Every structure is written in C-alpha cells, then in structure tokens.
Structure 1
Amino acid sequence: MGTGLRALRTARGWSQDRLVYEMRRFAERRLLDIASPASLKVYVSEWENGRRSITDRYAGILRLLFGVTDTELRGAPEPHDEQVDGYADLLSRIDAAGSLGESMVQAFLDQTELLRTMDRQMGATGLVDQMNGHLARMEEALTFAVLPTARRPIAKALAGASTLAAWQALDAGSVERAWRRYELAKKAAQEADSPMYLAHAMGEQAYVLADAGRPQLAVELVRDARTTQANRQSPRLRAWLAAAEAELAAGAGMAEDARRALEDATSLLPDDAEARDPDMASIFLNTDHLARWRGNVLAKLGDSSAMEELYASLASADASFVRARSGLHCDLSQAHLARGELEEARSHLQQARLLANRTGSVRYRRRVELLTGRL
C-alpha cells in the first residue's frame, strides 16, 4: 500500500512536503475540508510506511493528483464471494447486452471522443476514474453480448477506447496498466475483425518497449504492425505507422532505417487538408503533424535540419495539443543541445517542464530530467 504512494510521489520528483502542498492546493480549489499541513505530513509518512490505511476521502484526492487507479494507489482489493446461483443475474445481463443498439455504441464512441479531447488539452491524470468506468461499461457489454453481430461493434469501440486509455496510462507513468490496456485493445480489435485498430494498438504499444529500454524490440513490433493486413489499412494509418517506426528507429540508433521510414510516411500521407482519419478517429496526422514528427526524428539523429522543421511546427502547432507541445519543446531543446546552444536549450526545456507539469505527464517529465542532465 505505502510503496505504491511512495513510488508515485518519487516518479513526480515530489518530496513529502510537496505532496502535502499539492493536496492542500487541490482541496482549496474544490472547497474541500482536509487536515492541516502538519497532520497531512504525518499521514503521508504513515501511509507510505504502512502504519495507516489511506481512507476513501484522501484516496480520491491522490488518484486525481497522480492519475492512477485505486488498485495502483492502495493495492488489489479483497476478492468477493461468487454468487452461488446466478442464472437469473446472468440472463438479466445477457438481455441487457443484447438490447444494445447502434445508439448505445455511438454513445460509447462519443464518450471516448470527449475523453480524448480532455486528455490532449488537460492531461490524463484527472481522467483515470472516468476512463476506467468507461472501459468497464464496454467490457461488461462485450462480456454478456452473445451473437457476433452484437459483439463486433462493441469490440471495435472498446479497442479504440482501450488504446487511448493505454496511452494515458503510459503518460502517467503506469506502465503495467498501459501494457495491459494495449493487450485488451488488441484482443478487442481481433474480435471486431479490425486490422486497423489492431495495427494502431501494436504501434503505440511499441513505445512501452522503447521507454522500458528495448528499442530494437519496439522497432520489430511496429514493423509487424505495418504488415498486419496492410491492404486493409487506410493510407493515413499506414503513414502514421511509418512515422512511428522512424521515431523508434531513431531512438534505437538505426539512422538509415529511420530516414527510410520517414520517406515512407511522407509518400503514404494523403495530400489533403484533413487531420483525422475518417476510418479511425484515433489517428491525427496531416502535413503539419508529420513535419513535427520529422523534426523529432531528425533531432534524435543529431541532424542540423531538425531546427527548421521544429520551429515551423511550433509556429503552426494546434494550441489544444498541450502535451504534444511539451514534446516539441523537448525536441527543440535537444536540437539546440546538439549545436552547443545551451541558453536556447534551457529556455525550451523550461517551457517543456511547465507544460509537462500542467498536464501531469510523468513520461515527458522524465524526458525533461534526462535532457536537464545534459546541460
């Protein structure tokens, strides 16, 4: 129990005093009455050392501060006894799932889109309970839907939502949850007979491997994603997967492979003004997004031409993609570092840190700290 809280706190780089301060600030914003700073400091110490259980009241605050599940904060709940005679309950759930129509599936999709919009603007930390509830409702519906005609639309909606939830978990530093969410997304995509959602989940899951220190394995996984029924993938998705391979290959030190994948992404991307894939709401990619991605790859390769791409992307960046802007400033800091321009690198790193803190992004905060160590 305490180890989880301590790990979450240290992942943010917070002292116990900082955690107390953040808890007090959170409570003041929401007009909540909580203990004094002195008492909270005692509570935090006792929570982390296992001498006091985290109450529901404070767990609710801590989950939103860190963007984690209750299980990640306090440990797995005690198992409940199974119902001895559950036929009536089973049939009730089957009937409820069978009555789901197109309108309910569309409601699932609309909720996912709302959570996606909130995530990119505000970060994922405050959405973990909403996302978990959203996934639980879809999993419940899929579990008790009987016929394939009823299951496939739900499975497809679940695949898209699970991939989003996985990326949010990765951003919040909950890597095991991220991995499990990607596995759920892949299984749902397979049941839905949707190679596009399967390939996208595989492509994003490769980033977990890269972050965990297995860059070559990450490249192999995204390459498998590119060949997963490629004839049934949309051009925009194929371009997205190629760009992902370029970034992961650059991180693995595979310069030629990265440049070749970038060329593939450029040639595959549709020449239109659209940013969203009409066949897959999860994909955002147009020429501006690809330019930012190209700058990221070139910065990782130490290519001097990265600077022009990155500054052009910064000037045209959509203000609603707050977390992406944090990554863009990280890329610019890395590009300036490669040229020995330390003041410029520090300036962009400060902007990256502010945006990472604003969205609660543990993943980008880790990157900021790695770059800070090079200054």
Structure 2
Amino acid sequence: MPAREVTVGDSGATESKLRRARLAAGMTQGEVRAKLTQARRRRGKMPPKEASLKRMYTSWETGAVIPTDWRDELCEVFELPPAALGLVETTPPPALDLPSTFEVVRLDPAVISLLDQQTNFYRLQDRLLGAAIIPQTEAHVRNLEQMLRNALPSGHLPTAAVTLAEAAALAGWQALDAGDLRKAWDLHDIAKSAARQGENPAVLAHVTAQQAYVLLDAGRAADAVELVEYASEPRLLGQVPARLRSWLAAAHAEFLAAAGDRSGAMRRLDQAADVLPAGDNDPELPYLMLNGAHLARWRGNCLARLGEDQAIEDLTAALDGLTTLTSRRAEAGLRVDLALALRKRGDLDESRVQARQAAELAGTTGSARQRARIAELLAA
C-alpha cells in the first residue's frame, strides 16, 4: 500500500510547478515514473505497481495530492528543490508587523530601511537559490503594497514606493525564471507603478526594460524591442547612471538580435561598452551588477542568437571570467548560450557537455526558463 499523501484544496500551485518541471525537462509521464521507480529502489524501498504509480503521479500533477513520501525521489529526478516543485507549503518570514487593511500608518524611515535591507537579502538569496525563495519574495511584495496603501502622505512615501518597485521587479524576474509569464508581467506592472510613484527615473527605466524579457520569452521580440526603446528614451536616459545606461543598451542589443537585426544589435553593444564605468556595481544601483565579463557574455548571447561563430570566442572569454559572474543562474545561462553556439557550428559533443553542465546548475536554482532551453539542446 502506498504511503499516505496529503490532499490539498488549491490545486493551482502544485499542478503548474510539477507539470511545468516535467515539460521543461522534456520528459513524458511514463519516463518520469520509470525514473521515480529507479530512485525508489536505490533508497531500498519497494515501488508500487505501475498502474498504482500512474494513478498517483496523475493526482500529483493535477494538484489533487501533494506527495509527501516521494519528495526526495521527485527532487532527484527533476534536480529541483522541493519548493520549486510545489512539494512544500512555505510561509512568508514574519519579518515586520505591518498594519491591517483597516489601519493607517505614518511611514517610519527606519522601517522602510529595514524593508529595503530585506529586499537586498532576498536578492542575495536569489543568486544562490533561485526559484526556492519565490514564496518569500512574493509575500514581501504583498507586505510592501499593504504598507503603501495604508500610509498617510509624507515625504517618506517616494522612498517606500521605490523599495516596493525594486522588490516587485525581483519577484517578477523570479517568476519569469520559473516560467510563469503572466505573473512576471503583473509583478513588473506593480514595479513600474511604484517607480512612478517614487519619482525615480532610474528604477523606472530598469523595471520597464526588464519587463521586456517577458515579451522575449513569449516569442514577441519586436514588442520587446519597442518596450526597451520606451525605457531608453532620452527623457529617462539622461537621468540614469552610466552603468544602468550600459545595461539598457546591452538588453536592447539582445532584443534586436532576437529580432534578427544584426547591425542594430552590434551598435547597441558598442554603446554599452563605451559607457560602462569601472567596477562591478554602484551603491545607487543595488539591483544591478554589470562589468566587462557580463558584457562579453551578453555579446556572445547576441552573436549566438544570430548564428555567428564569433559567439564561441566571446562566450568562452566570459566563462574564463566566471568568478565575476553574480549567480548560478547567470552561469547556467552562459553555458546554454555556449552550447547553442557550439551546436550551430556543428560541434555537437561539446555542445552537449555544456548543456549538461548548465542543466546541473539550472537544477539547483529551479530555473524552468533555462531548463526548457537545455531540453531543446539535449534533444537535438
């Protein structure tokens, strides 16, 4: 008899995460069940009959049941943490006691500072854990939204709004990485509105351009170009730091490359290199790290999208500067780009080597976005 499972009422989270993980891995339900059976035996446990496991797995994917006794096996098969598969119920950190819906509050600079520090803490965690902390960052955004809704007008309101904008943009990027385009778009809309309320042109330009990646992942490269051009208009661009101008130009180049505009992409990449200041980051841009190694990777990404051999040299140079990259997600993306460039050159063996290394990294961060690209490469 199979071990007892926990029945849940809300099926959306489990269904979307577990099914999305399987599709991103490029496996059928039958293939997953076979791997689960092998993993079960390695743990010295007797697997159920195939018909029983088939019924069980279907109930997991539809969200009718959360598999408690199969958690380790599922994490092994998909190379993802439990939270990324919807196998645990995570609760937001208590952090701060914010007001209820029917209360009003005078904004306290010390509280805003603590919330900003909390955003940065999640930002650092994201670089290591990826999708596993999505519930915490989304709860953080909800807390900030509630605080602003209940806040009395004051001179501290713009600072609090910018804090919300940065938190929502982080949560939106995580949703994008997890493959949830609708949620990613909506969170970036929250970020844009908060940035406008905070009257911060730099944050507004950043979150607007970052939202364009949702369009790119949706296969709408031309629309992504249009949105990043709006974010880079002179009325905004003249009010943002040089490192952010460099980032905007590089993002613009990536969207142009995806749209097949080689000359435009190369021109924007040159602009990005021209305005990039020394160092990795700026105190006024806590959400942004950008240096020469990152630009080398970005250039390689663009060239790989355009199918040019030069991409391999640029991406290899970026890989040599790996210590300057900021996250496992960034390294996984770099290796996927390199695998793509190698495949287009015809070097299939080395392409698969890079794709497998990227798959290991993507598994630790729960990146459905990268895993979908990797599955396509390994299937080729």
TM-score band by shorter chain is 0.7 to 0.9
* Paired amino acid for 1:45: T
Aligned match for 1:235, one of 235, 239, 242: 242
* Paired amino acid for 2:245: R
Matched, 1:350 2:356: yes
Cross-structure match for 1:267: 274
| Structure 2: runs of 5+ lacking an equivalent | 1-10, 40-44, 75-79, 90-98
Q: Residues 55 and 316 from structure 1, CA distance in 2 versus in 1: closer, same or farther, beyond 3 angstroms?
A: closer
Residues 262 and 306 in structure 2, CA contact (< 8 A), matched pair in contact too? yes
Higher relative contact order (CA 8 A, sep 6+): 2
Match runs of 1:115-194 below 5 Å: 115-124=122-131, 126-194=132-200
CA deviation map 1:61-89 (0-9, x unaligned): 9996353889xx9xxxxxxxxxxxxxx96
Q: Distance in 1 between matches of 2:301 and 2:100?
A: 53
Q: Residues 161 and 89 from structure 1, CA distance in 2 versus in 1: closer, same or farther, beyond 3 angstroms?
A: closer
Q: Distance in 1 between matches of 2:342 and 2:101?
A: 61
Matched, 1:327 2:333: yes
* Paired amino acid for 1:177: K
Q: Distance in 2 between matches of 1:216 and 1:89?
A: 43
Q: Distance in 1 between matches of 2:35 and 2:261?
A: 44
Q: Distance in 1 between matches of 2:320 and 2:273?
A: 20
Q: Residues 344 and 21 from structure 1, CA distance in 2 versus in 1: closer, same or farther, beyond 3 angstroms?
A: closer
Matched position secondary structure for 2:346: coil
Q: Distance in 1 between matches of 2:336 and 2:264?
A: 23
Residues 8 and 66 in structure 1, CA contact (< 8 A), matched pair in contact too? no
The CA deviation at 1:150 is: 3.1
TM-score of the superposed pair, with normalisation by structure 2: 0.80
Cross-structure match for 1:290: 295
Q: Residues 155 and 285 from structure 1, CA distance in 2 versus in 1: closer, same or farther, beyond 3 angstroms?
A: same
The CA deviation at 1:372 is: 3.0
Q: Distance in 2 between matches of 1:103 and 1:349?
A: 46
Matched, 1:45 2:50: no
Residues 276 and 285 in structure 1, CA contact (< 8 A), matched pair in contact too? yes
Residues 20 and 40 in structure 1, CA contact (< 8 A), matched pair in contact too? no
Q: Distance in 2 between matches of 1:5 and 1:236?
A: 35
Matched position secondary structure for 2:342: helix
The CA deviation at 1:307 is: 2.0
Cross-structure match for 2:366: 360
Q: Distance in 2 between matches of 1:6 and 1:64?
A: 11
Q: Distance in 2 between matches of 1:41 and 1:137?
A: 41
Q: Distance in 2 between matches of 1:140 and 1:20?
A: 46
The CA deviation at 1:338 is: 2.6
Aligned match for 1:216, one of 188, 213, 222: 222
Aligned match for 2:23, one of 5, 11, 34: 11
Q: Residues 66 and 296 from structure 1, CA distance in 2 versus in 1: closer, same or farther, beyond 3 angstroms?
A: same
Residues 289 and 326 in structure 2, CA contact (< 8 A), matched pair in contact too? no
Residues 18 and 86 in structure 2, CA contact (< 8 A), matched pair in contact too? no
Q: Residues 48 and 285 from structure 1, CA distance in 2 versus in 1: closer, same or farther, beyond 3 angstroms?
A: closer
| Structure 1: runs of 5+ lacking an equivalent | 26-34, 74-87
Cross-structure match for 1:67: 84
Matched position secondary structure for 1:67: helix
Q: Residues 54 and 248 from structure 1, CA distance in 2 versus in 1: closer, same or farther, beyond 3 angstroms?
A: same
* Paired amino acid for 2:322: A
Residues 9 and 19 in structure 1, CA contact (< 8 A), matched pair in contact too? no
Matched, 1:94 2:104: yes
Cross-structure match for 2:209: 203
Q: Distance in 2 between matches of 1:242 and 1:204?
A: 12
The alignment's C-alpha RMSD in Å is 3.4
CA deviation map 1:46-71 (0-9, x unaligned): 35457xx446989x99996353889x
* Paired amino acid for 1:212: A
The CA deviation at 1:336 is: 1.5
Residues 9 and 15 in structure 1, CA contact (< 8 A), matched pair in contact too? no
Cross-structure match for 1:369: 375
The CA deviation at 1:12 is: 3.5
TM-score of the superposed pair, with normalisation by structure 1: 0.81
Aligned match for 1:250, one of 253, 257, 260: 257
Q: Distance in 1 between matches of 2:171 and 2:255?
A: 21
The CA deviation at 1:201 is: 1.0
Q: Residues 49 and 264 from structure 1, CA distance in 2 versus in 1: closer, same or farther, beyond 3 angstroms?
A: closer
Q: Residues 241 and 315 from structure 1, CA distance in 2 versus in 1: closer, same or farther, beyond 3 angstroms?
A: same
Cross-structure match for 1:280: 285
Q: Residues 229 and 343 from structure 1, CA distance in 2 versus in 1: closer, same or farther, beyond 3 angstroms?
A: same
Residues 20 and 41 in structure 1, CA contact (< 8 A), matched pair in contact too? no
Cross-structure match for 1:307: 312
